[in-house]
Amino acid sequence: MNRAPLSAVFQLAAAHLALLIYTALALFPVGLIVMNSFKERNAIFRTPFDFPTAETFSTAGFETVFGRGNFPNYFANSIMVTVGALLLIFIAGTMAAYALSEYRFPGNTLLGLYLSIGIMVPIRLGTVSILRLIVNLDLNDTLWALILVYTASGLPLAVFVLSQFMRQVPRDLKDAARVDGASEYRIYWMTIPLIRPAIGTVMVFNMIPIWNDLWFPLILAPGEASKTVTLGAQQFLGQFANDYNAVLASLTLAAIPVIILYILFSRQLIRGLTSGAVK
């Protein structure tokens, strides 16, 4: 009589155990970076897996970061690039998704498939052509170069995901708005709250690669005035010697905004990933 309940409890416990193990493995590198950022240089290599003690505790890395590096400016640049790109992805992505899902025209499906190619083909394959285009537009060493490139790389995923969710919005709701005299822009704006979980998912999946990217800041905007926080951390890695205290401290500081934004968007991310799983 009790076999079924015991089996269900065992399966639930096994699932939670697997999730806890995965969580520990995922958080282990982050915890290791944070712990060692508060240690002396010798303690980082001697006892990398130990917590800082009274003898090994040191804030030299953070003092170097704020004293030698222009990290407030790097953080401001990363925030402007990330927010600017996400804003353009939101505006262009939702509009394109609404058009593809609402209007049927010749080539509608082919256009959607064409936009989806951007998910499969890495944008870094076109780095040389992108660099030439940015130079011709006189946007090299500017934040606009990064914003436009990240917008282009994030739009395929945004259009692909959002168009599927917009098709699930009841058409009767849109037709009722048209009968009441609402414009197409008004109807488009009305559908935005209905797909909020999908928007949260798209924002998270685009935010983390943009914030952590090193490739395009190094190529398109390596100047001191336009450096991002990820590129700024590279200045502590030299040809013959590395300041590991400063590197770990800068990586710790760089992870804070991502963690905060992920916590803010986590509920929408989970709802977006699980929406439609059960019909």
How do residues 74-89 score in pLDDT, each as one tens digit?
A: 888 999 999 999 999 9
Least confident residue range of 3-7, 50-54, 120-124, 234-238: 3-7
The DSSP element (H or E) to which 80 belongs, if any, is helix 71-102
pLDDT at 202 over 60: yes
266 assigned to some structural domain? yes
Q: Which residues form the domain of 121? A: 71-274
b/e per residue 69-95 (b: at least 16 CB within 10 A): bbbebbbebbebbbebbbebbbebbbe
How do residues 123-170 score in pLDDT, each as one tens digit?
A: 888 889 999 999 999 998 899 999 999 999 999 989 888 888 888 888
14 assigned to some structural domain? no
How do residues 220-232 score in pLDDT, each as one tens digit?
A: 988 888 888 888 8
252 with 177, same domain: the answer is yes
44 with 91, same domain: the answer is no
pLDDT at 16 over 60: yes
3-state secondary structure at position 69 = coil
98 with 219, same domain: the answer is yes
pLDDT band of 267, cuts 50, 70, 90: low
How do residues 171-183 score in pLDDT, each as one tens digit?
A: 888 888 888 888 8
**C-alpha span between 86 and 147 (Å, rounded):** 9
Q: Given this model, what pLDDT does residue 4 score?
A: 53
- Count the domains in the chain: 2
Q: Given this model, what pLDDT does residue 232 score?
A: 81
40 with 123, same domain: the answer is no
